[in-house]
């Protein structure tokens, strides 16, 4: 199974009219709300400080951007180098953005909340340690909030009663040293997708040559610490020129895998510079995640 690239790719490019997004736009979250698609994307200008911009679309293909970022560094020394890699989870009637705060002491994972996807307020850090690729599940599991995160090089799971205190941290998915493409590091992509078979955990991995690829595994519906099946292969790797060359070469990196009708829309960045879309029937993704 392979995802099909959209013929209009790349859908979003850097915008030289806005200083803050003049060099790179990448790693977007996408959610559907009030009949529109909202994209929250990471953007960099010539200073390489990351902001989070917002674009709106009626069809998920053609986007109109807001003039200004919706989130910029605001925590002084903790994030003055940027706010990065948003993932957005609809939960409890609101939206939660998990993003990486990059500051004086490296980076750590933050959680913010919004009712309208434009005005964001911080909830707090998941932990003040080198960690990223964190994303909330869209519903409580066993009565508690659940989150995926990444303490290098593994994907971890943790739980919370209040989204502030996180416990029961444990690694659930690791690189496979003998398996070429995902032998070095793994991290979650977008919000896990609930299907009747369990949770689809979309993830990225890179190998010893720093080539980023995308795949998906199946987690148990009630106990997502349990990996039911993990395909040997991947479903997307850098092939197009804009995926092979950019700010960081050989990268397809996704923070959004949403279900639209009977399709999965995987939004992703090519080479940390532009944003594209690839799609696949949900039924094919489930088959891949359960049997290949
Ligand atoms: C990761 C993250 C992503 C980036 C990727 C490839 O560590 O920082 O933002 O897209 O590297 O450069």
Residue 247 and residue 233 in contact, taking contact as beta carbons nearer than 8 Å = no
The stretch 39-51 carries a mean pLDDT of 98
pLDDT of residue 292: 84
The answer to whether the beta carbons of residues 272 and 5 sit under 8 Å apart is no
85 lines ligand 1 (CB under 6 A): yes
Helix (H, G, I), strand (E, B) or coil at 234: coil
Is the CB of 268 within 6 Å of ligand 1? no
Which has the closest alpha carbon to 161: 181, 136, 144, 138?
Answer: 144
Nearest residue to 217 (alpha-carbon basis) of 136, 138, 285: 285
pLDDT of residue 78: 95
**pLDDT per position as a tens digit, 95-145:** 999 999 999 989 999 999 999 999 999 999 999 999 999 999 999 999 999
Band (pLDDT 50/70/90 cuts) for residue 91 is: very high
Q: Which helix (H) or strand (E) holds 154?
A: strand 154-160
Cα of 20 to ligand 1 centre, how many Å?
18
Report the DSSP pairing between strands 198-206 and 193-195: antiparallel
* Interatomic CA distance for residues 148 and 134, integer angstroms: 5
**201, 288 Cβ separation under 8 angstroms:** no
Inter-CA distances, 268 with 1, 163, 170, 273, Å:
18, 27, 27, 10
Average pLDDT, whole number, for the chain?
Answer: 98
Substitution candidate for ligand 1 out of 150, 253, 276 with most atoms within 8 A of CB: 253
Is the pTM above the cut of 0.75? yes
Average pLDDT over residues 230-242: 98
User: Can you tell me which atom of ligand 1 is nearest the CA of 272?
Assistant: 10
């Amino acid at each position: 199974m392979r995802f099909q690239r959209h013929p209009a790719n790349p859908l979003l490019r850097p915008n030289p009219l806005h200083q803050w997004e003049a060099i790179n736009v990448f790693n977007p979250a996408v959610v559907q709300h009030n009949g529109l698609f909202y994209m929250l994307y990471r953007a960099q200008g010539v200073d390489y400080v990351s902001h989070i911009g917002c674009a709106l679309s009626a069809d998920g293909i053609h986007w109109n951007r807001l003039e200004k970022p919706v989130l910029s560094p605001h925590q002084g020394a903790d994030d003055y180098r940027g706010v990065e890699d948003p993932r957005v989870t609809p939960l409890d009637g609101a939206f939660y953005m998990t993003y990486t705060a990059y500051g004086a002491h490296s980076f750590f994972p933050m959680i913010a909340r919004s009712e309208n996807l434009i005005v964001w307020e911080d909830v707090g850090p998941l932990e003040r340690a080198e960690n990223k690729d964190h994303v909330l599940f869209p519903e409580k599991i066993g009565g508690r909030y659940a989150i995926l995160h990444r303490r290098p090089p593994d994907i971890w799971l943790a739980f919370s009663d209040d989204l502030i205190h996180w416990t029961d941290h444990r690694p659930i998915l690791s690189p496979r040293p003998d398996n070429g493409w995902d032998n070095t590091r793994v991290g979650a992509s977008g919000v896990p997708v609930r299907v009747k078979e369990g949770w689809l955990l979309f993830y990225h991995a890179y190998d010893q040559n720093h080539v980023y690829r995308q795949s998906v595994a199946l987690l148990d519906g009630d106990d997502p610490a349990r990996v039911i099946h993990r395909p040997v292969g991947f479903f997307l790797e850098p092939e197009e020129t804009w995926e092979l060359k950019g700010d960081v070469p050989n990268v397809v990196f996704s923070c959004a895998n949403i279900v639209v009708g009977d399709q999965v829309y995987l939004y992703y960045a090519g080479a940390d510079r532009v944003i594209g879309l690839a799609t696949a029937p949900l039924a094919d993704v489930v088959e891949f995640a359960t049997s290949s």
